[in-house]
Chains A and B, each alone.
Chain A
Amino acid sequence: MADRRRRRLSHAAIHLTAALGLVVLAVTSFVAYRHSTWLTAALIPSLLLLISSHALLAREIRRHEVIERALHDTNRELESFSYSVSHDLRAPLRSIDGFSQALVEDAGPALDAESRGHLDRIRAATQRMGRLIDDLLALSKVTRAEMKTERVDLTEIATQIAGDLARQAPDRRVHLTIAPGLTATGDPQLVRLALQNLIENAWKFTGRREQATIEVGATRDEDGFQAFYVRDNGAGYDPAFAQKLFGPFQRLHPASEFPGTGIGLATVQRIVHRHGGHVWAEGKINEGASFYFTLT
């Protein structure tokens, strides 16, 4: 906060000195036009003002360069971190899974049912960790990905996503409405990923409803900006834990009821923040949930 205020102050100082310099220059030009002998003396203060504003600008630019360099370094560190996670963290998991499987195959008949069950649990946990690593990497990719800005048709994207879901689960009966003409400016791939996570969540959490309803539409946030929403009549959530919804690997439902690693909403939040927007939710246990986001 203090940093932002300081930056605003120094920006104001730059503009003020530049404006003063211009005023003084205009006055001196006028004076010089009338009394050319005063020219030299009158130009000095304006020059001084211009020089000091230039110095301020130069300092500001240097400060920004330092910040940019620090950001660049952090980004590179993040990249090498996820690189080594991608390479190194999965290798031991492959060993655990592979040799557990080998044990089942080679010594299976000699093992009792309980021991075989334990081996199955080892393998299930290994694969869960593999998925967690993949999700963590995907989340960090969202942060690192370069952003494009273009017109995005959210209606079309939502329709495609819903179509894919319906094809994958032809026996599900979901009443789905997508408002026409939903468009925004943003990165098409990231916006698709955000919508995909929200619609897939709605799809998943209405899985136990006889009459599942999912609605994709737009409204306005409290500042009057366009906000998109995905609303469902599914399992909902306890509003007491609402602030946990968007944390990575946070889950408000047991995995046995609704599968998942808890990365979806964290991904949505990162995407929305990268667009300069905000995301929030409304919901109650067993009364469905609505997720809202802006992209500006």
Chain B
Amino acid sequence: MDEILLVEDNPDDVDLTLRAFRKSKIANEIVIARDGVEALDYLFATGPHAGRDSNSLPQLVLLDLKLPRLDGLQVLERIRGNPKTRLLPVVILTSSTEEPDLLTGYSLGANSYIRKPVDFQEFVVAVRRLGLYWLLLNQPPPHPPA
């Protein structure tokens, strides 16, 4: 329930993001999906995650855009297209600030768009604020009817 789904294919970025969470004292469990297909399998309890309770959704999805197989924007489109996950908070966390990415990201219903800074200290600050806002301050949407 309180977990964060981190969709990220770069193992360095996974480690650095986990480190940033640790340094920010964010204790939520973090589930990692290494590409778009894995992310959707987890959310919809299909494929290798077939045994999971599909009614239990993460509190927040952190979504990279450039991913193998299904890319981040395609994942976002599927998330918004399914009544179960339609309202799930999704924060795009990516390297790019190219206008088409921002535009498509927001058009598809991203809740927020954060660019990963090169400076790790800045990244830690960004993650701390992100955690504070999305895990504590923000009121999550009510559970969709099962």
Contacts and interface: CB of A to CB of B under 8 A. Distances in A.
Interface of A: 82-83, 86-88, 90-91, 93-95, 97-102, 123, 126-127, 129-130
B95 A91 contact: yes
Contact of B16 (A90, A94, A126, A127): A94
Given A94-B13, A95-B16, A98-B16, A127 B98 contact: no
28 contacts: A82-B98, A86-B95, A86-B96, A86-B97, A86-B98, A87-B94, A87-B95, A88-B66, A91-B13, A94-B16, A94-B116, A94-B117, A94-B118, A95-B10, A95-B16, A97-B118, A97-B120, A98-B12, A98-B16, A98-B123, A99-B12, A99-B16, A101-B121, A102-B16, A102-B19, A102-B120, A129-B118, A130-B117
A95 B12 contact: yes
A123 B118 CA distance: 10
Interface in B105-132: 116-121, 123
A94 B12 contact: yes
Given A87-B65, A87-B66, A91-B10, A98 B120 contact: yes
Interface in B68-100: 94-98, 100
B96 A83 contact: yes
A136 to B, nearest CB: 13
A130 B121 contact: no
Interface of B: 10, 12-13, 16, 19, 65-66, 94-98, 100, 116-121, 123
Contact of B96 (A87, A94, A98, A101): A87
B19 A94 contact: no
Contacts of A130: 117-119
Nearest to A141: B99
Nearest to B116: A94
| Residue among B12, B119, B120, B123 with most chain A CB within 10 A | B120
B21 to A, nearest CB: 13
A16 B146 CA distance: 78
Given A87-B66, A95-B16, A99-B12, A126 B98 contact: no
Contact of B119 (A82, A83, A97, A102): A97
A144 to B, nearest CB: 10
